[in-house]
């Protein structure tokens, strides 16, 4: 059964539908066809006409649902009524009509349309039925305003009344009761919102009459509504002296004479900390206070501004009513907005799009200037802070300078990559926008004098220890710099193999120096820029002859000298001549790469904060050699810091959990092999400096000692870095810190744990230096091996005075037409294969283990031949070891032996490994000399 209230609803919809039709015919159609309107007013009336049609359609649909319900109550339940099932849709249509109507009111479209029209003077009588309870006196425009407003107000009031009555007719448990309650709430809210919207529109319309035409033209907008006027609630603005303050729903306006200052509410912050008689406001470029005479005025303005800002940020008006009550609220401190800076400064005319906090760019954002300059990255309190990419266009060509750097307080600070439109690239640390600390600079390939510098910088200039490679001259300088010039001790290496060590001052060689030639000639004296001998000096030739006197050169005369040639000296030992090493005293290993070690120490000292991990340890990006005019440069393919492998929390936890020797070694191996781990990043920077110093032109045998020292120093620094991470991990967990290690324990851990892990990273360049240093010795050794290879096994064993009862002749598998005297490489085959494995590893300890296995295999073979376990005396072992070494035919055995000796753990000194290495070295020398009848005796060795 249908209730009487449903019948009343039906009648209400019929009356309202007829009213809407009358409004359309009497008001809207004539306004659109006959009224002389400006474009703004006409657009508002057209929008009102469209929303009126939608209101008619939804009213008609509601009417049909009521008619169906009344005709067939059994088929159509109460929930079929549009007012109940589609209450939110009906609400939206009514709100759109109210919005369209209030736009016309604000721009005074009705008054303007009827001001000079005789037609509307005669329409007063026709409009009277639409003006329920309102006088028709006044202008026709006022009558139109009322005619379009009153029917809707009355209709919504009746909706609320009838729906409230309908709720009372429905039982508590009925399923449709909830629908009716919801619809009642919706239209109650609509009633409140409508009153608020209409009042705001009328207040805004009245405001325009109080402003000058200039101010009105600047501020009048159909969608803008006045929320508060300082003429109603007085306010004093400091430090800006505003004569009047207007708060709209989208902007805050300060009027100063003819000037209008507008502030977008989306970028206005109300400071939370304030006294009872003032409100502190923040905007991107201004800060000012609203001051009041009493707390009540302060509460009113603060509430109105806060609610308006929140409403503007949501992009729609509060519903059901703006600020339902005076509950304290706050504007969101963080937002994402776009703003163009106007005040003078670095950001002048730049448009910022991104995150804000309390009136300042804060978080991720993008800055773009009109000249094409742009910056993408992180901001903090209005300044670039964190990782960012800056593009700076060059006026001369269609190219850009690209800076992929970390920033601090608006300046580049920390690790960065600077790629210039000229083709130059810098990768390293910066401070206050200048290259400062360790960095690598590489000139453009097409530059007139291409070069590459790897080293330390100070305020944009090369200063401290650094390496510069001059590709044009084929030279590499290793040494000290000051104010962008070579200054202090330095080494010059040429592509021809010459090596100079001396002192530089203001980029020039000064005083005496040392020149080592490729043929091991040694000159001590003075030079010219291109290493030409000049002045007093002394030459020591490879054969021991010396020439001491004055040297000079002239046009077309080459080098000439006056002095004394001494030929009485004996030829020096080749091994001592070639082992002259440069730079050992001039550049202490611990002070060479402080710019590499220092940032890591600072990072650990600061407690390993995650936000500094990239700034101090660097990031990985794809280098762009050619800079194009493209937004691609605003992207940087970095490894994200929140990666589970690279997160600092996980790294410290892993360090803490793996402190036992075996677990620690695995932990260090994993860390050093990862480019995301701080230790791995540090190792890669060390590799970069090592290659820059000793690869290519720098691969000179006289730098072997320098390189060997450097590898050991790197191992010590990495161990110290690990210890630093461990201390930070313990500190974060509140555990007791470990005591500092003494030198002996530290060296033991470095050689046992770190050096074997990092040596492969430096082995290629380091072993090349050993090869060059021992090239002549290895050449003689190779000749000795070639001579011994001509001997069959039995002849060679006999030649080496190996006792015959130790010969493993049963190992020689012969055919019917073979003899023992023809077979080669069959005796002690297992020992030979063990010794050959020495070259398959780079770890000195593993090489020594293979040497020990070789010794064990020799003893095992002899024991098998004798049929009993047998310990070889030294006099028997050494010739057998020479035999095995000659058959193993290891190339560059001298370089291998010396590298093992230099890099092995000191704990092995005086032990079995030391003894076996000394024995192998003795065998190497005898094979080198070819003197097999003066073999070393047991007196030459000390038992391990």
Distance CA 507, CA 505 (A): 5
Measured over the CA atoms of residue 657, residue 661, residue 663 and residue 669, the dihedral's sign is: positive
Q: Quote the mean pLDDT of the chain.
A: 86
* pLDDT for position 613: 78
pLDDT of 847 over the 50 cut:
yes
pLDDT, tens only, 138-155: 677 777 888 788 888 989
Closest CA to 617 of 552, 556, 676: 676
Give me the mean pLDDT over the 363-388 stretch: 93
Give me the mean pLDDT over the 320-348 stretch: 76
% of the chain at pLDDT higher than 90: 51
In terms of residues, how long is the chain? 944
- Which domains are seen in the chain, by residue range? 4-209 (1.20.900.10), 225-332 (2.30.29.30), 473-566+578-586 (2.20.110.10), 603-621+646-738 (no CATH), 773-811+824-932 (1.20.1050.80)
Distance CA 650, CA 647 (A): 5
**Could you tell me the strand order of the sheet in which 226-229 lies?**
226-229, 244-248, 251-256, 259-264
pLDDT, tens only, 648-694: 889 999 999 999 988 999 999 999 998 889 999 999 999 999 999 99
pLDDT, tens only, 113-133: 777 666 666 666 666 666 655
The residue with greater pLDDT, 56 or 72, is 56
H or E segment at 236? Answer: strand 236-238
pLDDT of 393 over the 50 cut:
yes
Closest CA to 807 of 799, 890, 922, 920: 799
DSSP 633: G
pLDDT of 913 over the 60 cut:
yes
Distance CA 340, CA 353 (A): 9
Give me the mean pLDDT over the 805-811 stretch: 79
Q: How far is CA 197 from CA 91, 194, 363, in A?
A: 14, 5, 37
Burial of 25 (0-12, 13-18, 19+ CB in 10 A): exposed
- 403-417, 800-814, 848-862: segment of lowest average pLDDT: 800-814
Burial of 149 (0-12, 13-18, 19+ CB in 10 A): buried
- pLDDT level of residue 561 (50, 70, 90 thresholds): confident
Give me the mean pLDDT over the 786-802 stretch: 88
| Highest-pLDDT range among 315-319, 480-484, 507-511, 524-528 | 480-484
Contact 475, 493 (CB under 8 A): yes
Distance CA 922, CA 940 (A): 9
Distance CA 234, CA 35 (A): 40
* pLDDT for position 574: 54
HSE, CB side, 13 Å, CA atoms: give it for residue 131. 18
Q: Which residues of 907-931 are buried (b: 16+ CB within 10 A; e: fewer)?
A: ebeeeebbbbbbbbbbbbbbbbeee
Distance CA 626, CA 617 (A): 26
pLDDT of 326 over the 50 cut:
no
Which residue carries 């050096």 as its tokens? 755
pLDDT, tens only, 729-782: 999 999 988 888 888 899 999 999 999 999 999 999 999 999 999 998 999 999
């Amino acid at each position: 059964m249908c209730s009487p209230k449903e019948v009343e609803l039906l009648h209400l919809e019929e009356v309202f539908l007829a009213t809407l039709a009358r409004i359309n015919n009497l008001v809207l159609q004539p306004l659109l066809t006959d009224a002389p309107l400006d474009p703004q007013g006409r657009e508002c009336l057209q929008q009102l006409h469209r929303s009126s049609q939608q209101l008619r359609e939804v009213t008609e649909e509601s009417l049909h649902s009521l008619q169906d319900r009344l005709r067939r109550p059994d088929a159509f339940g109460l929930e079929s009524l549009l007012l109940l099932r589609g209450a939110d849709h009906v609400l939206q249509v009514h709100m759109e009509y109210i919005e369209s109507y209030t736009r016309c009111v604000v721009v005074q479209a009705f008054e303007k349309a009827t001001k000079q029209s005789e037609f509307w003077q005669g329409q007063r009588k026709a409009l009277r039925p639409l003006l329920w309870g309102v006088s028709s006196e006044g202008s026709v425009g006022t009558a139109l305003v009322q005619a379009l407003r009153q029917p809707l107000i009355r209709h919504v009031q009746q909706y609320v009344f009838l729906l409230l009555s309908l709720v009372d007719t429905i039982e508590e448990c009925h399923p449709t009761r909830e629908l009716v309650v919801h619809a009642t709430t919706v239209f109650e809210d609509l009633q409140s919102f409508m009153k608020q919207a209409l009042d705001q529109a009328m207040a805004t319309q009245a405001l325009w009459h109080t402003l000058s035409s200039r101010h009105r033209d600047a501020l009048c907008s159909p969608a803008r509504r006045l929320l508060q006027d300082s003429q109603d609630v007085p306010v004093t603005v400091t430090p800006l002296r505003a004569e009047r303050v207007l708060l709209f729903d989208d902007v805050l306006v300060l009027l100063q004479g003819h000037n209008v200052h507008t502030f977008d509410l989306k970028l206005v912050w109300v400071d939370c900390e304030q006294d009872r008689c003032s409100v502190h406001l923040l905007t991107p470029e201004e800060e000012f206070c609203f001051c009041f005479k009493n707390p009540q005025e302060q509460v009113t303005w603060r509430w109105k501004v806060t609610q308006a800002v929140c409403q503007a940020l949501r992009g729609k008006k509060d519903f059901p009513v703006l600020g339902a009550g005076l509950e304290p609220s706050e504007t969101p401190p963080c937002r994402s907005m776009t703003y163009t800076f106007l005040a003078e400064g670095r950001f002048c005319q730049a448009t910022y799009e991104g995150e804000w906090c309390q009136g300042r760019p804060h978080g991720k954002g993008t800055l773009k200037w009109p000249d094409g300059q742009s910056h993408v990255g992180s901001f903090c309190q209005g300044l670039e802070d964190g990782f960012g990419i800056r593009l700076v266009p060059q006026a001369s060509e269609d190219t850009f300078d690209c800076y992929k750097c970390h920033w601090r307080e608006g300046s580049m600070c920390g690790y960065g990559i600077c790629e210039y439109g000229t083709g130059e690239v810098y990768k390293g640390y910066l401070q206050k926008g200048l290259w400062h600390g360790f960095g690598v600079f590489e000139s453009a390939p097409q530059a007139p004098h291409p070069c590459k510098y790897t080293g330390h910088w100070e305020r944009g200039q090369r200063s401290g220890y650094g390496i510069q490679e001059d590709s044009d001259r084929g030279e590499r300088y290793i040494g000290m710099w000051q104010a962008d010039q070579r200054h202090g001790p330095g080494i010059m290496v040429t592509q021809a193999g010459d090596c100079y060590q001396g002192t530089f001052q203001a980029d020039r060689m000064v005083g005496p120096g040392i020149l080592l030639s490729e043929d091991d000639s040694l000159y001590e004296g003075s030079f010219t820029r291109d290493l030409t001998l000049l002045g007093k000096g002394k030459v020591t030739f490879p054969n021991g002859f010396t020439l001491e006197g004055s040297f000079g050169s002239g046009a077309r005369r080459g080098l000439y000298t006056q002095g004394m040639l001494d030929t009485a000296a004996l030829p020096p030992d080749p091994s001592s001549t070639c082992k002259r090493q440069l730079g050992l005293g001039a550049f202490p290993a611990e002070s060479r790469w402080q710019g590499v070690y220092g940032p890591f120490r600072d990072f650990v000292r600061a407690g390993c904060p995650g936000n500094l991990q990239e700034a101090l340890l660097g990031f990985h990006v794809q280098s762009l050699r050619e800079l194009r005019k493209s937004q691609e440069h605003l992207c940087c393919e970095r490894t994200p810091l929140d990666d589970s492998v690279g997160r600092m929390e996980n790294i410290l936890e892993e360090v803490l959990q793996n402190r036992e020797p075996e677990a620690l070694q695995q932990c260090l191996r994993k860390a050093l092999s990862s480019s995301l781990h701080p230790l791995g990043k540090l190792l890669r920077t060390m590799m970069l400096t090592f290659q820059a110093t000793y690869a290519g032109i720098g691969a000179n045998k006289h730098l072997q000692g320098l390189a060997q020292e450097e590898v050991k120093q790197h191992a010590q620094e990495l161990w110290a870095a690990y210890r630093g991470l461990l201390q930070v991990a313990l500190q974060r967990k509140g555990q007791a810190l470990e005591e500092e290690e003494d030198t002996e324990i530290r060296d033991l851990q470095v050689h046992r744990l770190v050096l074997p892990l990092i040596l492969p990273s430096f082995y290629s360049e380091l072993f090349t230096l050993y090869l060059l240093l021992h090239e002549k010795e290895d050449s003689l050794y190779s000749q000795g091996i070639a001579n011994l290879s001509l001997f069959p096994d039995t002849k060679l064993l006999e030649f080496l005075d190996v006792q015959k009862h130790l010969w493993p002749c049963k190992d020689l598998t012969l055919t019917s037409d073979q003899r023992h005297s023809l077979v080669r490489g069959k005796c002690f085959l297992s020992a030979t294969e063990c010794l050959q494995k020495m070259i398959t590893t780079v770890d000195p300890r593993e090489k020594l283990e293979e040497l020990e296995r070789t010794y064990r295999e020799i003893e095992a073979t002899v024991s098998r031949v004798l049929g009993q376990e047998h310990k070889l005396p030294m006099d028997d072992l050494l010739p057998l070891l020479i035999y095995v070494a000659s058959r193993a035919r290891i190339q560059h055995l001298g370089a291998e032996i010396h590298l093992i000796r230099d890099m092995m753990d000191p704990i092995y000194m005086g032990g079995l490994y030391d003894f076996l290495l000394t024995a192998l070295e003795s065998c190497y020398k005898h094979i080198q000399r070819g003197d097999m009848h003066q073999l070393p005796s047991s007196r030459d060795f000390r038992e391990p």
